[in-house]
Amino acid sequence: MANRRKVTIEDVAKQAGVGIATVSRALNDSGGISAKTKARIMQVIEEMGFVPNTSAQSLKIRQTRQIALAVPDIRNAIIPDIAWSVEQAAKQHGYRVVQINTLGNARLELEILREVKKLHVDGLVLFPLAYPKTLESLINQCGIPVSVINYGKKLSTDLKADIVGLARQEGKLVMEHLLQIGRTRIAYAGAPKDKIEERYLAYEQSLRQVEASLVFFGEDFSFETGRQAADYFYSLKHMPDAIYAVNDMVAIGIVNRFKELGVRVPEDVAVAGIDNNLWTTVTTPQITSVSIMGNEVGRLAAELLLKRIQSAQPLDYERVEFEPRLIVRESSVSMKHYSRNEA
């Protein structure tokens, strides 16, 4: 029995009465083709049983149908929310996501920009943490579209990337809240000062004077850093009456360790973090946090990137800011509340 000849893209083009390039645009959902023509081509493809050669197709149009996502640390509880949103947006456009962890390391953030072409991706969603000095120049020289998830840094208006971030400083919301509920001896628990420095600066700028003993810088943004911070504050002759944690995992570590030490939250010490990850709602007490809109930020960063990749025309770079939201929970209650209860 003779083998049935394989249907080619040329056969589809001839049957549909269009050029090969038009069939290619229909297959890749590119611009420059009407909905009516695309529908006719897709019908011919189905009728003829045409199966595209995806490898050759990618080489021909120089697209891999993949994007990269570079994040600081997948172990940070907010990162899965961002990564999931990026992946869902990519799937809707027929793209896959290659994920890279930079560990918030300046060298690795620069390395991903220098070597991203080796990953064979069509674009990059970058969530920087270290923000090394040459980051912006490397983005401008990257050679593929870049979308930046930005928390806190002022980036150049000349940056050749779409930028999605926050309209207000999230740390300022935490400090305003702790001061408003009557806490006067507020401590800060964070990662090294050069990591998300803006969150520490919000602490510094909200106080008339910073007491050095009330500042704890750990090694990272982890649960363990929070436990170490709790031990440190517990060892002080005069403990703080509130702690602003650089993120939720540190806040959860603090609350967890304070339970073991017999320190009451919020009666003795109020605690608040940033990220609004799921774990803040399943701890006891539930933890006050600022939502940095991880799902929305991740989704839009991916959508802007894919729009740029798929556009046949140059697009203006977009700057989008979401409004962070303070979500008050059990871990930070007004001092007046306890004064009334104890009266």
Give pLDDT tens digits for 243-264.
Answer: 999 999 999 999 999 999 999 9
pLDDT at 1 over 60: no
| pLDDT value for 172 | 95
pLDDT at 207 over 90: yes
Q: What is the mean pLDDT of the chain?
A: 89
What confidence tier does 335 reach under pLDDT thresholds 50, 70, 90? low
Q: Using alpha carbons, list the distances in angstroms from residue 316 to 5, 164, 201, 208.
A: 46, 14, 32, 42
Residue 129's φ and ψ, nearest 5 degrees, are -125, -40
HEC readout, 28-44? CCCCCCCHHHHHHHHHH
Q: Using alpha carbons, list the distances in angstroms from residue 276 to 77, 211, 284, 286.
A: 9, 27, 15, 11
Tell me the one-letter amino acid at 69.
L
Report the share of the chain in percent with pLDDT over 70: 92
Architecture of domain 9-61: Orthogonal Bundle (1.10)
Q: Give the residue among 165, 162, 9, 30 at the shortest CA–CA distance from 93.
A: 30
pLDDT at 52 over 50: yes
* Residue 132 CB coordination number (10 Å): 15
What confidence tier does 29 reach under pLDDT thresholds 50, 70, 90? low
* Residue 199 CB coordination number (10 Å): 26
Is residue 150 within 8 Å of 304, Cβ to Cβ?
no
∠ CA 108-279-244, nearest 5°, is 75
pLDDT at 194 over 90: no
What confidence tier does 56 reach under pLDDT thresholds 50, 70, 90? very low
Give pLDDT tens digits for 308-330.
Answer: 998 878 899 999 999 999 999 99
- Average pLDDT score over residue span 149-154: 87
Q: Give the residue among 233, 230, 332, 218 at the shortest CA–CA distance from 273.
A: 332
- Count of helix runs (H) and strand runs (E) in the chain: 13, 12
| pLDDT value for 70 | 96
∠ CA 178-268-173, nearest 5°, is 15
What confidence tier does 32 reach under pLDDT thresholds 50, 70, 90? low
Is residue 322 within 8 Å of 297, Cβ to Cβ?
yes
What confidence tier does 196 reach under pLDDT thresholds 50, 70, 90? confident
Give pLDDT tens digits for 215-227.
Answer: 999 998 999 999 9
216 against 9, higher pLDDT: 216
β-pair type (270-275, 215-217)? unpaired
| pLDDT value for 143 | 87
Beta-ladder partners of 100? 70
Taking 3-state DSSP, the helix, strand and coil percentages for the chain, each rounded to the nearest 5, stand at: 45, 15, 40
| pLDDT value for 341 | 46
Residue ranges, CATH 3.40.50.2300, the chain? 66-167+293-323, 170-292+327-342
pLDDT at 23 over 90: no
What would you measure as the largest C-alpha separation in the chain, in angstroms?
96
Prediction pTM value: 0.76
Residue ranges, CATH 1.10.260.40, the chain? 9-61
- Average pLDDT score over residue span 155-175: 93
Tokens of residue 1, six digits = 């029995």
Q: Give the residue among 16, 63, 56, 51 at the shortest CA–CA distance from 306.
A: 63
pLDDT at 60 over 60: no
Superfamily of domain 66-167+293-323: Response regulator (3.40.50.2300)
Q: Give the residue among 228, 263, 261, 268 at the shortest CA–CA distance from 245.
A: 228
Determine whether domain 170-292+327-342 maps to CATH 3.40.50.2300: yes
Tokens of residue 187, six digits = 């401590």
